[in-house]
Chains A and B, each alone.
Chain A
């Protein structure tokens, strides 16, 4: 195992200065730990994600199961489910978002302080799932809020949620603190608020946030335009 090159997930950043990742790994084996503020920041944040305590449908039951002793989300530092958005970092949209519920979900998202992340858990939160063709279910929460991790499944098992969480941790660890590649919450001009849709007579008004949601173009209708 010691001969194997360090996995890319282990050292997400190129080391500062002239030290290569391999040299840094070598130093680490000799008990010298080199790090940067950026890494420290990402490491601390990724291991203390506080999810918002809120569930929408049957996926929430799997989320609750993930928090219990059998699956134990505390192993990943995300066991502190906060009942207030003011104290939460992560919104797990666990289940069917009905059109009546969508304004409340978006409002809660707006009320969370930065940095914040969103996991769309299950088929319903991703796309509307089995209710996609229905009249009363939002066809994916990514129409209104930016989603970081999608977890497929109907419902996904707790292991899938834990996998999604570790994927989110990798994403947080890879975020840059400054420069053009800086994380969204560190950019001064990046949007931090998203419009809350109105629950209209027939549909949500507007039905999606056009700055966030770009529906895929139907290739057949593209062909008709020419």
Chain B
């Protein structure tokens, strides 16, 4: 055993790999020698709580939800970051200040865009 303090992690990794592989191997051998696989159209059918599945599963989502994503980022996530930013404002180094300003600028861009498109109007 190595003297490295984290050498036991290698052992853990080995066990973590060997255990599932052993289980899968035993299951595979069992099917190979004893239990024949019996797939079928009814058995492999989509599980819908017992009902027959209807319609195409490749449905299209409405792309308009991107708007909520943008506005959510501005009014929720940005506030979350602005609070610690305001608390640590006086002690920030230049790099951190620039990063934060770029972050705010990116989100403000979204706000300006949404404002200009009239998405903020209450209808």
Chain A residues within CB distance 8 Å of chain B = 84-86, 103-105, 107-108, 110-111, 113-115, 177-178, 185-186, 188, 192-194, 196
Which A residues lie within 8 Å of B35 (CB)?
114-115, 185-186
Q: What 0/1 readout, one digit per residue, does chain B (69-87) give for beta carbons within 8 Å of chain A?
A: 0000000000000000000
**Cα distance A105–B47 when bound, in Å?**
12
Q: Does B55 contact A (CB under 8 A)?
A: no
Asked if B42 and A196 sit within 8 Å, CB to CB, the answer is yes
Which A residues lie within 8 Å of B42 (CB)?
107, 110-111, 193-194, 196
Asked if B43 and A111 sit within 8 Å, CB to CB, the answer is yes
18 extra interchain contacts, Cβ-Cβ under 8 A, other than A186-B36, A192-B38, A193-B43?
A84-B47, A86-B47, A104-B50, A107-B50, A108-B50, A110-B40, A110-B45, A111-B42, A111-B50, A113-B43, A115-B35, A177-B34, A178-B34, A185-B35, A188-B36, A192-B43, A193-B40, A193-B42
Residue pairs across A and B with Cβ atoms less than 8 A apart, 30 shown, are: A84-B47, A86-B47, A103-B50, A104-B49, A105-B50, A107-B42, A107-B45, A107-B52, A110-B40, A110-B42, A110-B43, A110-B45, A111-B42, A111-B43, A111-B45, A111-B47, A111-B50, A113-B43, A114-B35, A114-B38, A115-B35, A177-B34, A186-B34, A186-B35, A186-B36, A192-B40, A192-B43, A193-B41, A193-B43, A196-B42
Q: Does B51 contact A (CB under 8 A)?
A: yes
Which chain A residue has the least Cβ–Cβ distance from B44?
A111
Sort A-B residue pairs by CB-CB distance and give the 4 closest, nearest first.
A104-B50, A192-B38, A110-B42, A188-B36
For chain B, the bracket of interface size reads 10 to 19
Inter-chain CB contacts under 8 Å: number = 44
Which B residues lie within 8 Å of A178 (CB)?
34
**Cα distance A188–B45 when bound, in Å?**
21
Which chain A residue has the least Cβ–Cβ distance from B48?
A107
**Cα distance A185–B51 when bound, in Å?**
25
Q: What 0/1 readout, one digit per residue, does chain B (21-59) give for beta carbons within 8 Å of chain A?
A: 000000000000011101011110101011110000000
Which chain B residue has the least Cβ–Cβ distance from A187?
B36
Which chain A residue has the least Cβ–Cβ distance from B38?
A192
Which B residues lie within 8 Å of A85 (CB)?
47
> Smallest CB–CB gap between B22 and chain A, Å?
16
> Smallest CB–CB gap between B26 and chain A, Å?
11
**Cα distance A84–B38 when bound, in Å?**
19
> Smallest CB–CB gap between B28 and chain A, Å?
15
Which A residues lie within 8 Å of B40 (CB)?
110, 192-193
